[in-house]
Chain A
Amino acid sequence: MSQLVVDAHSVGKVFGKGEGRVEALRDISMQIEAGEFVSLIGPSGCGKSTLLRLVGDLTTPTSGEIEINGKPPRRARLDRDYGIVFQKATLLDWRTVRKNVELPLEIMDVDDRAKIADEMLSLVQLGDFGDHYPWQLSGGMQQRVAIARALTFNPSLLLMDEPFGALDEMTRELMQQEVLRIWHETDTTVVFVTHSIPEAVFLSTRVVVMSPRPGRISDVVETNLPQPRDEDTREAQAYYDKITEVREALRRQEARA
């Protein structure tokens, strides 16, 4: 059995106290193995971001336990195990594209930063844009810079929170292809939040379906689609079947609610 990257046991998260108390997550147990690509899907407010943030030690659970690479999340964060990509590219305006990609390396005191940054930019097909400023790039290009930045220091776990949510459909499909390629070329494990069913099915080895109030895991769908996935995958019957399976899983919880 391969090594567990994420190991969550009965994790709960409650925000606030008394009147304003919100139970965002209840009894979440989830194991993710090295090299998996796992999507979290569910209606808005079901706690996808919260779960991702718990994994990434951007917030702490109120109950249960999480281990990342066999360590507490905080330790994993201090060991720089996480690469994070948000819906917004969140590039620093005052830095060129290359300097943005170098940012984590500067903080981690890595040498040869410019060289690594340029390699990463080539990986996301932006090799010629190192000297541009973020505002000179389109939304899709900015998001690719954000992905390059998240990968510079070889994190073992890539956390992505609706990274393509703000992109148009065309760019979105291209970015999905690109993320898969990068996932194949690196040995990163990916946890990917989305509310698009086709996106989750196309990208993932496993789709975790969540239900709201409080957020729970209601289903897990193994996609079992052949790798590598490409434009043909999008037209394969197996792909449509999996989309239907995830859609029905989401429907079932509506019926239950």
Chain B
Amino acid sequence: MTVGDQEHKASEIDDVYQTEFVSAFEGDVPAGTRTPSALRHRLRTAGPAIAAFILVLALWEGLTRLFDVKTFVLARPSLILERFILTSDVVWSAGFNTLFEAGIGLVAGTILGVGVAFVTIRWAPVREGLMPFAVAANSVPIIALAPIANGMFSLTSPVSKIAVVTVVVFFPVMINSARGLIEVDEDELELMRSYAAKPREIMWRVRVPHALPYFFSAMKVVAVLSIIAAIIAEYFGGSQDVLGQYILTKASLFVYADAWAGILVASILGVTLYAIVLVAERLIMPWHVSFRASDAT
């Protein structure tokens, strides 16, 4: 290797650092002390979101007070919070029952979705027969099935709700996972072929890691969707001690602040499930592109 080559290599490396590393921390840290301060950075990027959230709440509170908006039109945040605290026993009891349905449905739908995705890539006829149907099914509002599911299973048992959640979760997870497993770069497959790799090795070393980002983007959607699906299924009847019935009953009795407290619990549950997926995603695929640039902006 010549001296010129060494220099060239060094400049290549510089480029990499300049574009990928340094820019990630620019403006964050004084020049010269390029210490990453991930936490500070995180706070800085979260700042605007938190500020916007507080601003909306303040406006909501202020305007409802200023114009004396009636609670049945729009309850004030302070009143919702008060009812949320005072009724926490009942509303959280309903919340956990709903979380149970959503959680079981989420897990069942995910297992089924991933399982079927694996089948579709092993057997091409299954894929060709199933995928168009699945894509079509995914674009109809499956939630409309809820009243029918109530008829299929016992109305009072949570099974009908779990079934609805499972179906709602199944399609996006299956379609995305299958896509991730199938849409692997042809060159990667040929390399594996040149190593005389077995199908099982191609699956675990190439297809599955490739499918993870697809899988997680579906999971982020269905984590929230599972709570929504469970609540809508609950609107159509069944046990009273669930969020859907709680919100429905309180609204029909004109106790709107209590209904809002139920909605607040639903939101907390949805955000929590979403956060769990985010954490799992970071733990399982820390290499992913979405975690590189995100700290830079």
Residue positions of A touching B, CB distance < 8 A: 56-58, 77-78, 80, 82-84, 86, 88, 90, 92-95, 103-104, 106-108, 125, 133, 135-138, 140-141, 153, 170-171, 174, 177-178, 181, 231
CB distance B188 to A93 under 8 Å?
Answer: no
| B191 at interface by CB-CB < 8 Å | yes
CB distance B193 to A174 under 8 Å?
Answer: no
Q: How far is the CA of A182 from the CA of B15 in the complex (A)?
A: 26
CB distance B1 to A125 under 8 Å?
Answer: yes
Q: Say which one of B4-12, B100-108, B133-141 lies at the interface with A.
A: B4-12
Interface string of B277-294 (1 = CB under 8 A from A): 000000001011100100
Residue of B nearest to A96 (CB): B287
CB distance A58 to B190 under 8 Å?
Answer: yes
Residue among B15, B190, B192, B196 with most chain A CB within 10 A: B196
CB distance B185 to A58 under 8 Å?
Answer: no
CB distance A88 to B196 under 8 Å?
Answer: no
9 nearest A-B pairs in the assembled complex, by CB-CB distance: A90-B187, A138-B12, A94-B209, A94-B287, A84-B194, A104-B195, A107-B195, A107-B197, A78-B196
Q: How far is the CA of A180 from the CA of B285 in the complex (A)?
A: 37
Residue of B nearest to A78 (CB): B196
Q: How far is the CA of A92 from the CA of B201 in the complex (A)?
A: 14
Cβ-defined partner of B194 (8 Å) among A56, A95, A125, A137: A56
Residue of B nearest to A159 (CB): B194
Residue numbers in B under 8 Å from A135 (CB-CB): 20, 289, 292
| B34 at interface by CB-CB < 8 Å | no
Residue of A nearest to B20 (CB): A136
CB distance A58 to B194 under 8 Å?
Answer: yes
CB distance A107 to B192 under 8 Å?
Answer: yes
Residue numbers in B under 8 Å from A103 (CB-CB): 195, 205
Shortest distance from the beta carbon of B98 to any chain A beta carbon, whole Å: 36
On whether A82 and B12 interact (CB within 8 A), knowing A93-B287, A107-B201, the answer reads: no
Residue numbers in A under 8 Å from B20 (CB-CB): 135-136
Residue of B nearest to A141 (CB): B12
Residue numbers in A under 8 Å from B289 (CB-CB): 93, 135
CB distance B206 to A137 under 8 Å?
Answer: no
Residue of A nearest to B5 (CB): A174
**Chain B interface helix/strand/loop/mixed:** helix
| B54 at interface by CB-CB < 8 Å | no
Q: Which residues of B241-297 are within 8 A (CB) of A?
A: 285, 287-289, 292
CB distance B287 to A133 under 8 Å?
Answer: yes
Q: How far is the CA of A139 from the CA of B15 in the complex (A)?
A: 11
Residue numbers in B under 8 Å from A177 (CB-CB): 1-2, 5
CB distance B8 to A80 under 8 Å?
Answer: no
Residue numbers in B under 8 Å from A170 (CB-CB): 8
Residue numbers in A under 8 Å from B205 (CB-CB): 92, 103, 106-107
| B16 at interface by CB-CB < 8 Å | yes
Residue numbers in A under 8 Å from B190 (CB-CB): 58, 84, 86
Listed A/B pairs (29) with beta-carbon separation below 8 Å: A56-B194, A57-B194, A58-B194, A77-B194, A80-B195, A80-B196, A83-B194, A84-B191, A84-B194, A88-B187, A92-B188, A92-B205, A92-B206, A92-B209, A93-B287, A93-B288, A93-B289, A94-B212, A94-B287, A107-B205, A125-B1, A125-B5, A135-B20, A136-B20, A137-B16, A140-B12, A177-B1, A177-B5, A231-B2
Residue of A nearest to B12 (CB): A138
Residue of A nearest to B196 (CB): A78
Residue of A nearest to B188 (CB): A90
CB distance B187 to A58 under 8 Å?
Answer: no
Interface string of B69-108 (1 = CB under 8 A from A): 0000000000000000000000000000000000000000
Q: Which residues of B158-191 are within 8 A (CB) of A?
A: 185, 187-188, 190-191
Residue numbers in B under 8 Å from A181 (CB-CB): 1
Shortest distance from the beta carbon of A173 to any chain B beta carbon, whole Å: 9
CB distance B8 to A171 under 8 Å?
Answer: yes
Residue numbers in B under 8 Å from A90 (CB-CB): 185, 187-188, 191
Interface string of B1-35 (1 = CB under 8 A from A): 11001001100100110001000000000000000
Shortest distance from the beta carbon of A211 to any chain B beta carbon, whole Å: 26
Residue of A nearest to B8 (CB): A174
Residue numbers in A under 8 Å from B195 (CB-CB): 80, 103-104, 107-108, 153
Residue numbers in A under 8 Å from B192 (CB-CB): 107
Residue numbers in A under 8 Å from B197 (CB-CB): 107
Residue among A88, A94, A95, A178 with most chain B CB within 10 A: A94
CB distance B12 to A86 under 8 Å?
Answer: no
Q: How far is the CA of A170 from the CA of B285 in the complex (A)?
A: 35
Residue numbers in A under 8 Å from B285 (CB-CB): 94
Interface string of B212-240 (1 = CB under 8 A from A): 10000000000000000000000000000
Residue numbers in B under 8 Å from A84 (CB-CB): 190-191, 194
